[in-house]
């Protein structure tokens, strides 16, 4: 795909983000779009957020890691996106939908706060653990700019891995004392138990997922930086949310996270 076309699609997705209107699937219009093309479009969209809106990159996210999410979306390989400071909300936040999100869905995740930078290739689980300061209960609110979530892997990659916003719980704990694959998550919607999952849902171990992300980013010469936040993927299926919904999750031995949509 030519640079001019990549820039046009990056601008289209940026405009969709800011105008609150979806676009038709890129893969319908450009069936030969490659994974590399998609990441180039994503970087163009991100560049606009940085240069036009003065957003700052504060971390990275891995997407489509667990089988429930892959089955729900029909996308069967992970991808990555970038987190900016404008995406972050605190625990118990009231998150506006109108003018902020288009077709949001909530994911329950484990976030990693790094104390030092690492860069692939060759990163393993121990490297990730050594680089991690704390883990945090987290909701990622994914939000596709592609109409009706009709996405293939190239669509979601182009769209910054369908990232909307994210919510961080208050508790931060040292992961070295925990068996991360065995961590149990319970997610509640409007006070009722909605779903449950284990840390092993993301590639068998959240550390494995984060190592994959570090190595994949390394192929693009992109490091993890000290103090960055890394979202490791959803332990449960995506949960559609609308105005008035209240979400809460609990992670055994870690803590809780909650938010409300207004």
pLDDT score of 79: 83
d(CA 155, CA 49): 18
C-alpha to C-alpha distance for 123 and 138, rounded to whole angstroms? 24
Burial class (CB in 10 A: 0-12, 13-18, 19+), 246: middle
Residue 216 has which token pair?
């994949």
Query: Any idea what DSSP says for residue 179?
Result: -
Q: CB of 93 within 8 A of CB of 173? A: no
pLDDT tens readout for residues 216-256: 999 889 999 999 999 999 999 899 999 999 999 999 999 99
Comparing CA positions, the residue from 208, 181, 52 lying closest to residue 127 is 208
Which residues make Cβ contacts (< 8 Å) with residue 116, sequence separation at least 6?
130, 131, 226
- What is the rounded (10 degree) CA torsion for 225, 157, 20, 84? 0
Mean pLDDT in residue range 69-78: 62
Q: Packing angle between helix 3-19 and helix 35-53, nearest 10 degrees? A: 50
Q: How many angstroms separate the CA atoms of 123 and 38, rounded?
A: 24
SS3 label, residue 137? strand
Greater pLDDT, 71 or 122: 122
How far apart are the C-alpha atoms of 95 and 243, rounded to whole Å? 9
User: Cα separation of 262 and 246, whole Å?
Assistant: 9
Determine how many CB atoms are found less than 10 A away from the CB of residue 98: 9
Q: What is the pLDDT of residue 77?
A: 67
* Closest listed residue to residue 211, CA positions, set 233, 227, 196: 233
Two tokens at 95?
A: 């998150």
Strand 88-90 relative to strand 163-168: parallel, antiparallel, unpaired? parallel
Instruction: Give the chain's end-to-end CA distance (angstroms, integer).
Output: 40
The answer on pLDDT for 75 being more than 70 is no
Residue 38 has pLDDT above 60, yes or no: yes
pLDDT for the residue numbered 76: 55
3-class secondary-structure state, position 123: coil
> What does the pLDDT read at residue 153?
87
Helix, strand, coil percent content, the chain, rounded in steps of 5: 35, 35, 30
**CA–CA separation, 145 and 42 (whole Å):** 12
Residue 83 token pair: 């987190």
pLDDT in tens, 114-139: 999 999 999 999 999 999 999 999 99
Domains, the chain, in order of start with CATH, read 57-261 (3.90.850.10)
């Amino acid at each position: 795909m030519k640079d001019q076309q990549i820039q046009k699609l990056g601008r289209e997705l940026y405009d969709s983000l800011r105008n609150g209107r979806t676009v038709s699937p890129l893969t319908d219009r450009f069936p030969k779009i490659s994974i590399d093309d998609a990441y180039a479009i994503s970087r163009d969209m991100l560049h606009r957020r940085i240069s036009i809106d003065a957003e700052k990159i504060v971390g990275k996210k891995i997407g489509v890691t667990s089988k429930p999410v892959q089955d729900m979306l029909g996308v069967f390989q992970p991808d990555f996106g970038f987190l900016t400071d404008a995406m972050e909300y605190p625990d118990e936040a009231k998150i506006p939908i109108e003018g902020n999100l288009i077709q949001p869905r909530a994911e329950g995740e484990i976030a990693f706060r790094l104390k030092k930078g690492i860069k692939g290739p060759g990163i393993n689980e121990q490297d990730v653990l050594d680089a991690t300061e704390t883990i945090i209960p987290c909701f990622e609110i994914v939000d596709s700019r592609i109409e009706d979530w009709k996405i293939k892997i190239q669509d979601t990659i182009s769209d910054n891995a369908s990232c909307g916003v994210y919510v961080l719980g208050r508790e931060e704990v040292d992961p070295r004392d925990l068996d991360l694959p065995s961590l149990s998550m319970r997610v509640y919607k409007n006070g009722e138990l909605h779903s449950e999952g284990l840390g092993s849902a993301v590639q068998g171990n959240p550390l494995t997922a984060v190592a994959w992300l570090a190595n994949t980013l390394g192929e693009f010469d992109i490091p993890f930086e000290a103090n960055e936040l890394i979202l490791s993927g959803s332990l449960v299926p995506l949960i559609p949310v609308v105005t008035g919904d209240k979400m809460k999750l609990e992670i055994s031995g870690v803590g809780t996270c909650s938010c409300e949509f207004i």
